[in-house]
Structure 1
């Protein structure tokens, strides 16, 4: 029995350390991500479990052997690491406030007490005022062209719209799995939000993913009377592959080559909030991890085996699509991201700020892993509050016209 306690605490301490300093590089990046993501965002729950486990063990068996002492020492180390993760998560509010202040946005809830009740129920996405309409077809083709709409039960007239694009490496994923905390929060504030599926690789070859999402933009504007939405304000967001696609939607508005059969439709968006996105599809940044991704089988799955390099790769790369008319952006990335390096986000923001006529905000979250926002946590809820402040300010036309930083923190 005492050995099982020791084994649990070995894994517990290793997970806490990995959450603070993820094991770098392939082939450990995926397990490092999975462990670090869950540990960092569920740190309060894991800390409570560790304390209870150590207390129960001590009450039952005492501290009679070297194994007991090592196990309790590891439990103490794990508790310290989990506490450090909690502290890092609590900093997210200040990090978001600083990023927003840089582009002239004030978060009215900045400095408010943390909602510990929400963080204590990480997978509870219900709000009594929010309605969810499932599996609406935004284009022919089956379930990969379905959307779920979240809206306030009162369907207020003139509601702004938000399009959520799921991640999954362009090859997996579903609208039901990601963006739920943000969708529910924005719907509770009167927004009409749509989480959409899109065709996946390898069956779908670029730019089929993007064309489908532009069809979703068209559908949202066409369907907006049903939900009382404003066709003139539509923002786009997404995480990981969804962050890449959100940026591409924002940067390729009304491109007729990407709108076959609906070239005259307005596919512009008024704001973009990509989370931990992939922005460099051609290796322009020179970042080692990015070059490895570009040269991997994943790129061939997305773009096709015969896609010419670099032309086809640049055509799918937000880094190559930055331009002066880009809508306001708020780019969000964590320093501990094991799957997409934070340096990639920094380079994208730097290049976009160099040309953009609209503000480009950048929130770099210390200690945040990839996919940190999939469920409620101390960090997630503060970041969502900041995103809501950003989108509200864009909607109100309140962004300072001269708030276009040429450089930012940690850039």
Structure 2
């Protein structure tokens, strides 16, 4: 009878599955996709957590004499292979820094992308902790009449330095789920710690609401930011940047490409809803669910479109890279403003949730992008 160290085997099998889910883009069947997506969501950005578990459990199994049979030794080999696969996943994340710098240099000029030391302690030891002691979050401020779906949070430095720019972020969730203070928090806290005033906003969702309700809400947030963020130390004339994750990236792109459009500003037609630049993270940038061509950012590009930064994972299991690439091509063929496109090696969907090598490198790139845009605007 062959006995196996069951506890150790369970750990190794789970680690092997996670490594496979991170290395390979899986889209079906539905149940397999669900588990691969959920596990990859976390561990593709933090593979070292699984490596820690493998090393610790393997050391413990040897120390307790549990590696005694041929099956146990096979499990050790599987653990080693899984760890090697997770090391590849980690290496892909680390490559994001050079990819983002190259994208910035190609679009904005050599030397735009700067080299920075990644926050190793935060990435390795505190990836889940997004808050910072020098940043205050002011929660649940109302910007409209739709109750909790028209609430926003403001993030600002506790010292409230004056004259900072504004970043507005819209969450993803297929337009039918999601909420503020869940996505891109490392970005919001980083910029707020540098003197920005950042906003994360809820908006009305399907099926009760559809396009253009989401976009109208986005415009209301922009108008609110221009009117109120000076109370938290911002100066909207220093720049109002709009960003979004997944469906929120679609909103950010539409908002940037329809400045001051009265049909999307009922009751506040005179408000300034123009933005300085747009940032789309793992964004869906095609047509809305009804297929109306007017809901695709690709069909709204113009010569006076603002600068764009679009970042997408090359292993995104929900949105093919051809989707954001289509908007990049359309913008570059018409717009007089630059377009930065960073295709992140090994990146899955929703890479913006935690402190990881990939997202920290992209945040560095967003800072460099914003600095370039603001410098160009000051020079005009």
Q: Indicate conservation of the 8 Å contact 1:6/1:70, yes or no.
A: no
Q: Does 2:45 match 1:45? A: no
What TM-score results when the alignment is normalised by the length of structure 1? 0.87
Mark the runs of 5 or more structure 1 residues left unpaired by the alignment: 283-298, 304-309, 402-411
The 10-residue stretch of structure 1 (222-231 or 134-143) with the greater mean CA deviation from structure 2:
222-231
Q: Which SS does the other structure have where 1:177 is aligned?
A: coil
Which of residues 123, 143, 148 in structure 2 aligns to 1:138?
Answer: 143
Q: Indicate conservation of the 8 Å contact 2:243/2:281, yes or no.
A: yes
Q: Indicate conservation of the 8 Å contact 1:22/1:36, yes or no.
A: no
**1:172-187 to 2 correspondences below 5 Å:** 172-187=177-192
Partner of 1:409: none
Alpha-carbon shift at residue 108 of structure 1 (Å): 7.5
Which of residues 212, 215, 231 in structure 1 aligns to 2:217?
Answer: 212
Alignment deviations for residues 205-246 of structure 1 (CA, whole Å, 9 cap, x no partner): 211011011011111111023122222220000110111111
Q: Does 2:287 match 1:341? A: no
Alignment deviations for residues 325-362 of structure 1 (CA, whole Å, 9 cap, x no partner): 11000000000110111121112211111111100000
Q: Indicate conservation of the 8 Å contact 1:106/1:389, yes or no.
A: no
Partner of 2:205: 200
Alpha-carbon shift at residue 107 of structure 1 (Å): 6.8
Q: Does 2:373 match 1:390? A: no
**1:236-251 to 2 correspondences below 5 Å:** 236-251=242-257
Partner of 1:355: 334
CA distance in 2, matches of 1:23, 1:399: 46
CA distance in 2, matches of 1:178, 1:107: 29
Instruction: Tell me how many residue pairs correspond in the alignment.
Output: 374
CA distance in 1, matches of 2:129, 2:175: 27
Partner of 2:298: 319
Partner of 2:100: 96
Q: Does 2:260 match 1:254? A: yes
CA distance in 2, matches of 1:268, 1:74: 54
Alpha-carbon shift at residue 11 of structure 1 (Å): 2.2
Which of residues 5, 8, 32 in structure 2 aligns to 1:5?
Answer: 8
Cα 1:9–1:165 change in 2 (3 A) is same
Alpha-carbon shift at residue 7 of structure 1 (Å): 2.9
Mark the runs of 5 or more structure 2 residues left unpaired by the alignment: none
Alpha-carbon shift at residue 26 of structure 1 (Å): 5.5
Partner of 1:292: none
**1:9-408 to 2 correspondences below 5 Å:** 9-25=12-28, 27=30, 28-104=32-108, 110-119=114-123, 120-232=125-237, 233-281=239-287, 299=289, 303=290, 310=291, 313-397=292-376
Alignment deviations for residues 50-83 of structure 1 (CA, whole Å, 9 cap, x no partner): 1111111122134321220121111001100111
Partner of 1:306: none
CA distance in 2, matches of 1:56, 1:398: 59
Q: Which SS does the other structure have where 1:67 is aligned?
A: helix
Alpha-carbon shift at residue 90 of structure 1 (Å): 0.8
Alpha-carbon shift at residue 35 of structure 1 (Å): 2.2
CA distance in 2, matches of 1:69, 1:214: 60
Alpha-carbon shift at residue 30 of structure 1 (Å): 3.8
